[in-house]
Structure 1
Amino acid sequence: MAESKELIVSDFSWSPEFVQDLHTSAERTALLYHLSYRCLGSIPKLERLIREQAVETQLLFGSSETVLMKCVGTSSNLVTSLFPGLKQAIEMNKPKLAVTYLEKTKTWIDDIIRAVDDIVNRYDQQNQRVAECISDVIQEQNETEVRQTQQSVEMKRVETAVANLKEELEKNAKDIEEIEKTNQMKNSEIQKCAVNVSRKKHSVGILSSLVPHTPSFINSIYNAITAPGVDDKKYDLSVELSRLTSEKRKLQNKEAKLNVELIDLQLKLDSSNIKQGLIQASVVHLKDVHSCLSEIQKILVQLKKFWEKVEFMLERLKNKHFVNEFLTDDHDTRNQFLQSIEIAIKFWNTFGQNCQKANSILYVQSKDAYQFLETSPSSLSEGHWKEQYETVMKKLNQINFQEPSTAAITECHTDI
C-alpha cells in the first residue's frame, strides 16, 4: 500500500457549534414571526400574509428535521457498516471487499447531498416569499405615513436615536466582519502548520483519508506528533482563536440587543398612531426573520459541502489504497490503518450525536413554536395583547449567541 500523502484541505470546516447557531436562529425565527403576527392583527391582509409565511417556515423546519435524521442514519451506517467492513478487508487482505463497502457508502452520501440541496433551494424560495411579504408591509407603511399629517418633538428625538442606533449597528457589523477575517487567517495558519506536521507521520496521512479536515482533526495531528515548538504553536493559536470567538459572540449579542432596542424605538416613532408604529416594528421583525432563515440556509449549505467533501475523500481512499489485487503485507502499515479507522469511528459518533441534537431542535420548532397562530391577534384585549407582546420580547432578549469558554475551544481543537 503506497504511503498516503494527502494534504489538509483548507476550504471548509464543520464545527460542532453549528448546533447552537441553528438553535439560536430557529428560535428567533418563531419569536419574530410571533411579534409580527401580533403587531399586524388589526390589518387582516397583512395578518394573512404573516400567517402564510409562518406556516411555510414551520413546514420547512419539519423537512429540515428529516434531512438531519438522514445524517444521523448515515453516520451510524459508517460506524456500524463501512468501518467494520474496511477493517475486515484489511485484515483479510481483500481490496475488492473494501471497494464494495465504499461504493455502497457513496449511494448513501449521494442521497443526503440531493436531500440537502433540495432543502437549501426551498429555504431560498421561502426567503423570496418573506422578502415579498416585507414589500407588502412596507407599502402599507408608506400609505399610512401619507395619512400622517404631523410629527411631534418627541418623534423627532426618537428619529435621531434610531439614526444613531443604525449607525452603531453598522459599526458593529464592520467589527464582526474584521474579526471573521482575522479568524479565517488564524484557521489558515493552523491548517498550514498541520499540513507540515502531517508529512512527518505515515499514519496521519492515512487518517486524513478517513476523517474530514475539521479543527478537531487538525489538532489530532498535533497530538500524534511531538516536535519542538509544536505544542507552543498549538497553544498560542488556540488561545487566539478562543479570544476571537469570544469577541465575535459579544458583538453578536450586542447586535441582537441593539436590534431589539431599535424595534422599541421605532414603535415610539408614532406614539399618536399605534398602527403606524406596529407596521414599522413588523418590517424590522420580518427583516430579522429573513436574516435568520439565511443563517439556517448557510448552515445547510455547509452541511452539503461537508458531505461532498466526505464523498471526495472516500473516493480518493478507494483509488489510492484498494484498487490493487493486494493491500499490503506490512504489519505496521496495517496496524496504522486500523488505528486510523478507530479514530474515525469516534469522530463519526460525535458528528451523529450533533446531528441528532440539531434534529431535536427543529422538531420542537416545527411542532410547538408556532402555536401562537391558533389565536387571532384581533381577538385579544388591549391588556392581553400587551402582556403577550412583552412576554415574547422578553424571550427574544434572553436569546444570545453562546460564548464558548476557553476550555470548550481547546476541547474542540483536541478531541475527535
Structure 2
Amino acid sequence: MADSKMAVSQWSSDFVKELLPAAEKTALLYNLSYLCLANFPNLERLLRSRAVETQLLFGSSDAAMLKCILTSKNLVESLFPMLVTAVEKNKPLLAVNYLGKARVWIKDIIKDVDRIVEKYNLHNKDVASSTSDVIQEKQDTDKKITKQDHELKQTEKTVGDLNSELQKTTKELEETEKKINRKSQEIQEFARSISKKSKGLGIFAAIVPFIGLLVQSIYGAIKDPKNRAQIKALEAELNRFIADKTALKRKEWQIQLQLIDWQMKAAKASFERNSIPDPIHLNEVQKSLTKIQAILIQLKNFWENVAQMLDHLEQKTFVGENLIVDLAELKDEFLESIKTAKEAWSSFGEGCKKASVLFKLQTKDAYKFLEVSPSSFSKVEWQKEYVSVKKRLENIDPPQRVTTSGTAAISE
C-alpha cells in the first residue's frame, strides 16, 4: 500500500483558531485607520470603500467554507458508507466509481478556493495602493509642518525598537515552523516505513490525512519496542517544537500590542498637529489579509493532497486482480479505517462550520463603524472610541497550543 511519493497532509480541524484572530484584527485595524483619518474626507471615503470590499471578500470566503462543509458531509454520509458496501460485497469497480465522484467534488472546491485566493491577492494590492495614496497625501500635508516635538521623536524611536524586536521574534517563529515541518516529515517517513510492513496502516494513512491520528495508529501497528520508542521520541520532539511555537506566538502578539499602542500614540500626536498619520494600521490590515489568504492556500493544498491520496487508494487497492485478493484479506482493517475517517472528517466539517460563522459575523457586524464618520467625533468621543477598539484588540488571543493528538495542552 505504501508509496515513497505519498505524504500525509498536515491539516487540522482547528485551523479556524488561526483564522479567527486574523479576521478580527482586520476589522479592528480598519477601525483604527478610519479614526486616524478623521478630518480628511477624501481618505475617509477611500478607506471606507476598501473596508466594504473586504466585507464582500469575506462573504465569498464564507461561500467557499460552505462548500467544504457540504463536501465533508458527503464524504461522511455518502462516500464512506458506499465504500464500506463495496468492500463488504467485494466489488472494487463500484468503489472506483464512488472515488471518481469524490474527486469531482474535491476538484470543484479547489477551483473555488483558488478563485478566492486570487481575489485576496488583488484586494491586497488595492489596499496597498490605498496605503500609497495616504502616504502621498501625508507628504503633501507635512510639507507645512517642519517641527516635531521631543515626545514624538521618542515615540518613533520606541516604535523602531519594537519593530526590531518583532522582526527578531518573527524570525525565531519562522525557524520553529521549519523545525516543526522537518520533524513532521520525519514522522511521515517513519510512518511510511512502518506502512510498508502493514497494508492496513497504509490504507489508514490514505483516507485519514491527519498526522495526530496517524501517530496514534502507528502505536497500534508497531510490534518492535525500538520502533515504539522511536515514534514516541519523535512525537515528543514535535510537541516540544509546537510548545515553542505557542510561546513565540504569544510573545509576538504581546509585542504587536505594544507596537500598536505606541503607533497610536504617534498617530494621536500627528492628529493633534492636524497632520495625516502614517498609514501603519493599513499595513497591518494587509498582513492580516495575507494571513487569511495563506490559510486558504493551505486549505486548497490540503484538498489537492486528499485528491491525490484518493487516486492512490484507487490505484493501489481497487485496481488489479492481485490487489482485489488483498482487499478481501484486508476487509477488517479497511472497515476500521473507514470508521476512524468518518470521525476525523466530521471534526473537520465542524471546523469549517466555525469558519463559516466567523466570515458571516465579519460580513454582518464587524464593519458597522463605517456608518459614522470619525470627523463627526469630538475629542472626547474620539478618545473613547480609540480606547474601545484598543481594548478589543488586546482581548484577541493567539491560537492555543495543540499537540499531535489534536487536543489543547494544559497550561502550566
Same topology, TM > 0.5 = yes
Output the amino acid matched with 1:403.
Q
Conserved? CA contact 1:31–1:392, under 8 Å: yes
1:126 deviates by 0.8
1:185 deviates by 2.2
Q: Does 1:300 align with 2:292?
A: no
Conserved? CA contact 2:43–2:134, under 8 Å: yes
Distance 1:410 1:110, change over 3 A: closer
CA distance in 1, matches of 2:137, 2:331: 70
CA distance in 1, matches of 2:275, 2:219: 55
SS of the aligned residue for 2:138 comes to: helix
Alignment of 1:288-327 (within 5 A): 288-324=284-320, 327=324
Moved more, 307-316 or 69-78: 307-316
Q: Does 1:21 align with 2:12?
A: no
Output the amino acid matched with 1:151.
Q
Residues 298-347 of structure 1 deviation map (CA, whole Å, 9 limit, x = unaligned): 11111111111111111222222323479338754222222222222122
1:209 deviates by 2.5
Show the counterpart of 1:122.
119
Show the counterpart of 1:35.
32
Output the amino acid matched with 2:216.
N
Output the amino acid matched with 1:322.
F
Q: Does 1:394 align with 2:388?
A: no
CA distance in 1, matches of 2:267, 2:331: 74
Residues 369-391 of structure 1 deviation map (CA, whole Å, 9 limit, x = unaligned): 11111112112222112111111
Moved more, 97-106 or 247-256: 247-256
CA distance in 2, matches of 1:378, 1:399: 27
What percentage of residue pairs aligned between the two structures are identical?
43
1:412 deviates by 1.7
CA distance in 1, matches of 2:270, 2:348: 52
Show the counterpart of 1:412.
406
Alignment of 1:228-239 (within 5 A): 228-239=225-236
Moved more, 211-220 or 366-375: 211-220
Show the counterpart of 2:242.
245
Conserved? CA contact 2:207–2:310, under 8 Å: yes
Output the amino acid matched with 2:184.
N
Alignment of 1:65-214 (within 5 A): 65-212=62-209, 214=211
The two structures have a TM-score, normalised by structure 2, of: 0.91
Moved more, 364-373 or 264-273: 264-273
Show the counterpart of 1:342.
339
1:248 deviates by 2.2
SS of the aligned residue for 2:225 comes to: coil
Distance 1:273 1:310, change over 3 A: closer
Show the counterpart of 1:352.
349
User: 5+ unaligned residues in a row in structure 1: which ranges?
Assistant: none
CA distance in 2, matches of 1:63, 1:156: 43
1:86 deviates by 1.2
After TM superposition, the runs of 4+ consecutive aligned structure 1 residues lying more than 6 A away are none
Residues 162-190 of structure 1 deviation map (CA, whole Å, 9 limit, x = unaligned): 22222212222222122222222222222
CA distance in 2, matches of 1:280, 1:223: 60
Distance 1:107 1:53, change over 3 A: same
Moved more, 205-214 or 230-239: 230-239
The two structures have a TM-score, normalised by structure 1, of: 0.90
Output the amino acid matched with 2:403.
I
Output the amino acid matched with 1:5.
A
Moved more, 351-360 or 117-126: 351-360
Conserved? CA contact 1:113–1:304, under 8 Å: yes
SS of the aligned residue for 1:280 comes to: coil
**Alignment RMSD:** 2.4
SS of the aligned residue for 2:10 comes to: coil
CA distance in 2, matches of 1:386, 1:327: 72
Q: 1:361 aligns with which of 353, 358, 362?
A: 358
Conserved? CA contact 1:266–1:280, under 8 Å: no
